[in-house]
Amino acid sequence: MSTTIIGRVGAMLAALTVIAAGAAPAAAQDGSVTGSRTAEVAAIAAPPIGAARTAPGQRTAAAVTAAASIAKTGLAVMSPWHIRPAIEPSMTDAQRVAFEDQMIRDLVEAQVKLVRLEIAASGESAVDLALYRRLLDKLPADVKVIAVLNFALVEGGVTGSGVPAGEPYLYQLQDSVAVSQYPEYGTTTKFMKVWIDKALAVVGAFTSRLAAVEVLNEANKLYHPGTAAHPGPYVAPPDAYGRLISKFFRYCRLAGSKPCGTTVKVITHGMHPAMDGGDSGTANDDTVHLKALLKSASVAAFRAANAGAWPFDGIGYHPYPFAMGLSLPGGYANTATSTLLTGITGRLAALRTVLTGEGVPQAASPFWLTEVGFNSNDVTSTVLETKEAKQGLYIRDVFSALANRADVAQAIYYRYHEGNAAAGAENWGLVAHTGRFYGTLPPRYKRAFCDFVWARGIVASEHCIVPKQVSYRYHFNNIMYPVSYYHMPQFIVDAGGIAFPFWQVEQQLGAGPTKLISGDCSAFDPNVCSTLDYGNTSAPSTIDTPARFRVRFSGYPNLGPWSDWMPFTPLIGTAAGVYGPPSGATLDFKAQYVSFPVAVPVQWLLNHPGAQPYLRFHETLPGGGWTRLFQLPTMPTIPGSTQVTSNGALYVFNVSITSSSSRSFVAGPVEFRFGIAPIACKTDLSQCNPINAAESFTFAFNHS
């Protein structure tokens, strides 16, 4: 029997199976791998989504208790053909098509079933329906749309409005000249008439694709400087807004062509909390605005004419915590997500109190949270990963919790894309485009993109792999190629059947720096990815804190986001002090090259200077006995060897046995015994008995 001492940590240790923290429970937690590999695996059950987790940056807050429903969540998107050329003035038509196609592929990957899309048109010009049909016709048939019909539906305003030229055109909603059309529920201004005409045309053209229409956007918090006629930030007067939504509701649902039918919901504008910048208690304040709207003469007139019904199917709201008057000394983006969720919950309760007080039942006023957003640029950090990790955490902890509320009809994350070069601080998006140019494709998928996927119960997607199994293991038998210390041990990943060219694993043991290791994915088996040469990297032990790793995958040219950090189960440094293949394993000694690690605690060697670590082999045969399998003539210097664990507590030795030297083995059990013996063990096998019985370990194996 020949023996080989492989003096590198690239051939040590074993077995860990973990499921990525925070993922929905996945199959294959039994340690099995594709092919006829055998390995000993210590399984760790996946924590539920609601469990505490540790991950990059500040990902330490308590998570939501359940995945959000795909049917109750959506994403704000944009059309690259939008009328405002400032969106990306230098994009060619070909680049706009490519952006649109890429965005739709990403929506499909994330299983988005509802998108929020602003539709706009210049002045009194008709909406270019074909422009928006480019996008809508490409969407999968089961994807619905919330059409945001904001002031930009009449971009620039109407002619002959009677409003001074120096006034922002938005003031035309209340101040433009009166017209005779849509006479119910109060005066119709020319701006209202043109807006309603266009809105009805949009709904009529896209009825089958629409889930809802949002009537204006943040009309209680319009960011325009005051003028002589309208000092202070402009707010759509509640009665004027009440007239607009009441008239639109009538002609979309109750009268005329009724394009809304019974399927397209009419939602109030997404109210801004508007409690920042001294707005609390003013007409901007969400509760003040909502109460005034519900009590307005126009809404009262609508109710009187329609048996007490309300001119809406839901209440739009944008729960931005930074605008809620909360005490957030470090800013919302640096505050625990649990604190933010508590503040938002309180604000929604205040709105519900207003609605209940005015006699609006919850069934008639579910919340449509049409913008739930987090700007990763607002996190106080110079590390991009930290900023983006907090954005992802917000999705997991806040967005999901809001979507799960019984009184929330829909929660829409704001948004798919980042700001362009003209809006460099606008990092709300789930993807980022190189150079902040939307024509640069494919985008980089931020961690938030994957949290949006995972938090909605999707186990994995093309860019967001939550491996069914991530193993840090030692292969004792491998039919595909001989066990080689250049490839063992390995991180092995079941990528869920999705093929990737390569992946990376980052390991952190103890207080030292992390180690970044690259690996290949199998060209013939997309379920298996493994690390390359792992030499000179410390082995995890029980004393290492933290002992963790994380993975990310890549399809050229971009890397995907990192997974959550996942813990090692240290199988070196157990109470027994020595690690080898778990007792009872079946090893194919006859046909395969067999290799396994053993470890001796440094303290054992310090306790017995000059002692001889030994490994003996015994096969139960008639007349059989012990054979010296392994011995070290001298011990390495303490400390100073690459064969030591990161804390310096254990020396790791790899024992390799070639199949040519073990063909005489018959059915087991086979025993390997490791320990510390007197120095005489070097030359006399009979002296290879442990100095201290506690400082030894015996493993029994079967073999085929």
Q: What angle do CA 254, 259, 264 make, to 5 degrees?
A: 90
- Lowest mean pLDDT of 480-494, 586-600, 690-704, name the range: 480-494
Residue 459 has a pLDDT of 77
Predicted pLDDT of residue 354: 98
Give the single-character DSSP code of 635.
P
**What is the mean pLDDT of the segment spanning 369-379?**
97
Element (H, E) at 699: strand 696-703
Are the C-beta atoms of 259 and 203 separated by less than 8 Å? yes
Most confident by average pLDDT, 310-314, 476-480, 595-599, 624-628: 310-314
Per-chain mean pLDDT for the chain: 74
Q: Is the sign of the CA dihedral 327, 331, 335, 338 positive or negative?
A: positive
Q: Which is more confidently placed, 89 or 425?
A: 425
Q: Give the mean pLDDT of 263-267.
A: 98
Residue 404 belongs to domain with CATH number: 3.20.20
pTM value? Answer: 0.73
189: Cβ contacts below 8 Å, ≥ 6 apart? 172, 173, 174, 175, 176, 177, 178, 179, 240
* Position 59 confidence tier, pLDDT thresholds 50, 70, 90: very low
Q: Kindly state the tokens that stand for 66.
A: 């359940």
Residue 338, pLDDT score: 95
CA gap 412, 391 in Å, rounded: 15
pLDDT band (50, 70, 90) for residue 320: very high
For the chain, helix, strand, coil in percent to 5 are 25, 20, 50
Domain membership of residue 185 as a residue range: 70-89+116-431
- The string of DSSP codes covering 51-79 is S----STTTTS---SSPPPGGGEEEE---
- pLDDT value of position 603: 66
- Determine, yes or no, domain membership for 37: no
Contact 454, 464 (CB under 8 A): yes
Residue 206 has φ and ψ, to the nearest 5°, of -120, 25
Determine, yes or no, domain membership for 357.
Answer: yes
Residue with the bigger pLDDT between 191 and 558: it is 191
Angstrom distance (rounded) from CA 650 to CA 262 = 71
666 pLDDT higher than 90:
no
For the chain, what is the domain count?
Answer: 2
pLDDT the model gives residue 680: 81
Task: Please check whether residue 14 lies inside any domain of the structure.
Answer: no
Percent of the chain whose pLDDT exceeds 70: 62
Q: Which of 431, 465, 483 is the last residue of a domain?
A: 431
Q: Does residue 543 fall inside a structural domain?
A: no
- Residue scoring higher pLDDT (66 or 190): 190
DSSP 486-527: TT-SEEEEE-TT---SEEEEEEEETTS--EEEEEEE-SS-TT
Residue 582 has pLDDT above 70, yes or no: no
pLDDT tens string 509-531: 767 677 777 766 665 555 455 55
Confidence grade of residue 452 (pLDDT, cut at 50, 70, 90): very high
**Do 704 and 659 touch, CB atoms closer than 8 A?**
no
Domain stop point among 403, 431, 459: 431
Ranking 354-363, 509-518, 654-663 by mean pLDDT, the lowest is 654-663
Write down which residue in 383, 411, 431 finishes a domain: 431
Residue 609 and residue 587: Cα distance in Å, rounded?
34
Residue 52 has pLDDT above 80, yes or no: no
Q: Is 40 part of a structural domain of the chain? A: no
Residue 592 or residue 432, greater confidence = 432
**Token pair for 316:** 């739009």
Q: Mapping DSSP to helix (H, G, I), strand (E, B) and coil, where does residue 615 land?
A: strand
Q: Does residue 613 surpass a pLDDT of 80?
A: no
Q: What are phi and psi of 532, to 5 degrees?
A: -85, -155
Output 308 or 24, whichever has higher pLDDT.
308
Q: Which residue has the higher pLDDT, 170 or 506?
A: 170
For 159-181, the pLDDT digits (tens) are: 999 998 888 899 999 999 999 99
Stretch among 72-76, 83-87, 396-400 having the lowest mean pLDDT = 83-87
Please tell me the predicted confidence (pLDDT) of residue 566: 74
Percent of the chain with pLDDT over 90: 44
Cβ(120)–Cβ(131) below 8 Å: no
Is 279 domain-assigned?
Answer: yes
Question: Which band of pLDDT confidence, cut at 50, 70 and 90, is reported for residue 458?
Answer: confident
Residue 364 CB neighbours (<10 A): 14
Query: Which of 329-338, 505-514, 658-667 shows the lowest mean pLDDT across its residues?
Result: 658-667
438 in any annotated domain: no
Rg (CA), the chain: 33
Residue 11: predicted pLDDT: 24
Does 585 have pLDDT greater than 70? no
* DSSP-H helix ranges across 77-225: 93-109, 129-136, 172-175, 190-206
Instruction: Quick: pLDDT tens for 432-446.
Output: 999 989 999 989 999
Q: Is residue 694 very low, low, confident or very high in pLDDT (cuts 50, 70, 90)? A: confident
Residue 598 within any structural domain of the chain: yes
Half-sphere exposure of residue 609: CA atoms within 13 angstroms, side-chain side: 0
Report pLDDT for 466.
Answer: 60
How far apart CA 690 and CA 674 sit, in angstroms, is 9
Highest averaged pLDDT of the listed ranges 164-168, 602-606, 663-667: 164-168
